[in-house]
Copies of this chain bind each other. A is one copy, B any other.
Amino acid sequence: MYTKKMERKRSDLIADALESLILDGTFADGERLDEQQLAQRFDVSRTPLREAFQRLTLSGLVEQIPRRGVFVRQPGPVELLQMFEVMAELEAVCARLAATRISDAALEEMHATNDRCKAAVEARETDVYYRENRRFHAILYHESGNAFLEQECLRLHKRLHPFRRMQLRLRGRLRQSMSEHEAILAALEDGDGTAAAEAVRNHVAVQGEKFHHLIASLKSAAE
């Protein structure tokens, strides 16, 4: 794994910036990203911008229509639910594989991470919560022993992050989430792959459901 810090090029930095802007909702769905305008805004030429666009296209955040331009493509409720479903299944696979492969050190680390996570929930430190929660899942991915699976999970997890954020609004969800983490840990400690997979699938899938409810309530409130 390359942890070596290599100077990143401007186009990569721009891609990250645009990604944040899109995920933050600064750009609405279907909105066209103007090359010239953004070039001025970032004080670069169109070249690095176009490179950034390509990265975003491959990430699925924008759609590039030849000779027309690039348009932001915010996933709708249906697509999001489908993405959560896939995330749940991928993580379930990780859990099943990890149940027999996980090291004691990693288990210990997951416990510690979850403790920090719980503390963050009580203290209402959302940033810490996110970091530790992410770490909890990242360890699970890694302990699957399948580096490719790990990468795919990290990719999707990152993509879903902004939408997971919405759950914060739901009362009591975080505390429930913590107990689900503990169920996962228990299954992993037992080396029970089936139980671990089921626990993880449930943990992630419920996020999709909660999200669904949230959308529904927002919609009815708007009408």
Q: Spell out A's residues near B (CB within 8 Å).
A: 6-9, 50-51, 54-55, 58-59, 65-67, 79, 82-83, 85-86, 89-90, 93, 146-149, 152
The chain B residue with its CB closest to the CB of A47 is B47
Tell me, rounded to whole Å, the shortest Cβ–Cβ distance linking A56 to chain B: 10
A85's contact among B58, B86, B149, by CB below 8 Å, is which?
B149
Contact A8 B149 (CB under 8 A): no
Q: Are B51 and A6 in contact (CB under 8 A)?
A: no
**Structural contact, A66 and B9, CB atoms closer than 8 A:** yes
**Which B residues touch A51, using CB under 8 A?**
50-51, 54
Copies of this chain present: 2
| CB-contact partner of A148 in B7, B9, B55, B86, under 8 A | B86
Q: Using Cβ atoms and an 8 Å threshold, which residues of chain B touch A9?
A: 66
**Distance of A3 from chain B, by nearest CB (Å):** 14
Distance (whole angstroms) from the CB of A152 to the closest CB of chain B: 7
Taking CB atoms, residues of chain B closer than 8 Å to A66 are: 6-9
Minimum CB–CB distance from A85 to chain B (whole Å) comes to 6
A85 nearest CB neighbor, chain B only: B146
Give chain B residues whose Cβ lies under 8 Å from the Cβ of A146.
82, 85-86
With A and B bound together, what is the CA distance between A7 and B67 in angstroms? 9
Partner of A54, one of B54, B82, B86: B54
Complex contact A148–B54 (CB within 8 A): no
A122 CB → nearest B CB, Å: 35
Task: Assess the A86–B147 pair: CB atoms within 8 A.
Answer: no
Which chain B residues border A7 with CB–CB below 8 Å? 66-67
Which residues on the B side are within 8 Å of A93 (C-beta)?
86, 89
Selected from B55, B59, B83, B149, the residue in CB contact (under 8 A) with A86 is B149
Task: Indicate if the CB atoms of A79 and B148 lie closer than 8 Å.
Answer: yes
Interchain CA distance A157-B85 in the complex, whole Å = 20
Neighbour of A82 across the interface among B8, B65, B90, B147, CB < 8 A: B147
* Cα separation A90 to B93 with both chains bound (whole Å): 9
